[in-house]
Amino acid sequence: FPIGHYALSAARHMHQYGTTLEHLAHVAVTARKWAGLNPKAWSREPLTLDEAMASPMLCDPLRKVDCCLVTDGGGVVIVTSKERARDARKKPVRVLGAGESHCQWHVAQCPDLTVTPGVVSGREAFGMAGITPSDVDVLEPYDNFTHAVLLYLEDLGFCKKGEAGDFIAEGRLAPGGSLPALTSGGGLSYNHPGALGILLLIEAVRQLRHEAGARQVKDAEIAVAHGTGGLAFSTASTVVLARE
């Protein structure tokens, strides 16, 4: 656990929508490209698509590179009022919207292994913020497994169901792409300390403050952090942040 549970979801998405092993490998390669720009990333050595495809199979269809790191780490997020934030040493970042949802607990209870509670949490967060997916400059998804990123792209509305594999293969999430994502290197290449969600928020804030150094997304104004939890896509939460 939990690789077997997530492998079920990945296999179902492949069966239902024609997603390929190469599509999953593109997620790992994209995360590694960003990690190469992050001096604190755990895995920074270049990763080619051929190398990713040759990675050992752990639980069909998930290979070693499809699975996140197991590392240590932590973080802190301070939330305060707009008035108090004006006195802060660093430029504040606004919370425009937030949403959360719970669908089931055990994987055997999933009504659809290709759909996550992010459909609801994303709709709530985007609605509260008054934005659409096309307004997002940076996406920080919870990449505990490569195929999870595909599901989030579809459930949050960045592409239609079954289109995420090609969306990523076109390089849209990579440096210079139309939707920069996994910009720290993510759980796949940067750091996965267990509660990775806080690191998604921290990276989003760094991008919006324009403090990300070599991996900085140019003119980043709106960022979305999105995570899931529980026993295989049981819960989801989405936060929309904006540069003040």
Statement: residue 194 has pLDDT above 90:
no
Active-site position among 6, 17, 152, 190 = 190
pLDDT in tens, 112-135: 999 999 999 999 999 999 999 999
Statement: residue 230 has pLDDT above 90:
no
Percentage of the chain modeled with pLDDT above 90: 91
Mean pLDDT across 81-90: 92
Beta bridge partners of 59: 62
Statement: residue 44 has pLDDT above 90:
yes
pLDDT at 232: 84
Q: What does the alpha-carbon distance between residue 86 and residue 192 come to, in Å, rounded to a whole number?
A: 32
Q: What does the alpha-carbon distance between residue 222 and residue 137 come to, in Å, rounded to a whole number?
A: 5
Percentage of the chain modeled with pLDDT above 70: 100
pLDDT in tens, 126-177: 999 999 999 999 999 999 999 999 999 999 999 999 999 999 999 999 999 9
SS3 category, 119: helix
Beta bridge partners of 223: 138, 241
pLDDT in tens, 197-207: 999 999 999 99
Mean pLDDT of the chain: 96
Mean pLDDT across 69-91: 93
The residues, any chain, with a CB within 8 Å of residue 90's CB and separated by 6 or more, are 209
Statement: residue 241 has pLDDT above 90:
yes
Q: Please say if 152 is a catalytic residue.
A: no
Statement: residue 66 has pLDDT above 90:
yes
Kindly give the interhelix angle for 146-155 and 3-17, rounded to the nearest 10 degrees: 60
Active-site position among 6, 17, 142, 152 = 142
In one letter, which amino acid is 72? D
